[in-house]
Amino acid sequence: MYREIAIAGLGTLWVSEAGGAAARIPADGCADIILRDDELVVAGPSTRWVEARGSARLPTVGLRFAPGFAGAALAIDPTEARDRVLPASELLAKEVRERGERALRSLLVPGALREAAAMIPRELGMDLDPAQPARVDLRWIPEVSAAARREEPFARLSARLGYSERQLRRRMLHTFGYGYAALRRVLRSERARDLIGRGASLAEAAELAGYADQSHLTREFARVIGVTPSQLAAAKDSRRREQVGGANKGRGEQRQGVKKGGSKER
């Protein structure tokens, strides 16, 4: 079983029960700090799919930082961990490591998800209380993510934020761990996945998500999501057929029951 709760302005706190099989995880541009089988690891900012293993004994718990927030929260250079899973001991300072592990261990207590969500921002020094002075100015980060979602050109975004393109590119590498083109690629693939999931054809998904053509969709999608668009659509159709088959089977059994029990008088 998997549970999660959003932490406004920071990310998502999540718990996955022990015993889960390895899974292919699509890229989402986020970074996680994870406690898995008593080992603290950092899953760096993801720009391509990764294979993630489940835990053997204890629930796996983690904090998924929204794109751009992990660098400040964990006091790291996120480019060092991009598309990698590393032991926290290799990446985090001792104080940050201890705070993060303490915060995540609180999630191992049943029913503690909501309480932990209120406590973790303070543990990591990321409390967004307006009465408290901010440790790092992060206000520009959500604006970059919003601009990438609407496919705003990088030159226009840089000028609007008051940076040169070089300055903004450098700031993104220090906070997101990747550049604007990679962020747009991840968000575009997410849009296409949602469209295909809602029944759009591959040609429609390519056009509506902002790809140049269907082959462009296939190349980027497979790299980011971990399957091709055709594979995703086929899996969706298979699930739909199973659901329809199950419903038809149920109706057939009901009809047989009526025949065996006799029809009602009219």
- pLDDT of residue 8 exceeding 90, the answer is no
At 210 the three-state DSSP class reads: coil
Strands, DSSP E only, in the chain? 2-7, 11-16, 23-25, 31-36, 39-43, 50-52, 60-65, 85-87
Return the structure tokens found at 191.
């849009």
- pLDDT of residue 138 exceeding 90, the answer is no
The type of residue at 90 is E
Rounded-to-integer distance, Cα 261 and Cα 241, Å: 30
Looking at residue 53, what is its pLDDT? 81
CA Rg, the chain, in Å? 23
The answer to whether the beta carbons of residues 103 and 119 sit under 8 Å apart is yes
Rounded-to-integer distance, Cα 170 and Cα 184, Å: 17
Looking at residue 264, what is its pLDDT? 42
Residue range 6-24: mean pLDDT, rounded: 86
Helix axes 94-105, 113-123, angle to 10 degrees: 170
- What global pTM score does this model have? 0.83
Residue among 16, 18, 61, 19 nearest 43 (CA): 61
Helix axes 214-225, 229-261, angle to 10 degrees: 80
Exposure letters 238-254 (e unless 16+ CB within 10 A, then b) = eeeeeeeeeeeeeeeee
**Alpha carbons within 13 A on the beta-carbon side of 52:** 27
Q: Which of 56-70, 79-93, 116-130, 148-162 has the lowest mean pLDDT?
A: 116-130
pLDDT band at 35 (very low <50, low <70, confident <90, very high): very high
pLDDT tens-digit readout, 185-210: 999 999 999 999 999 999 999 999 99
In this structure, the chain runs to a length of 266
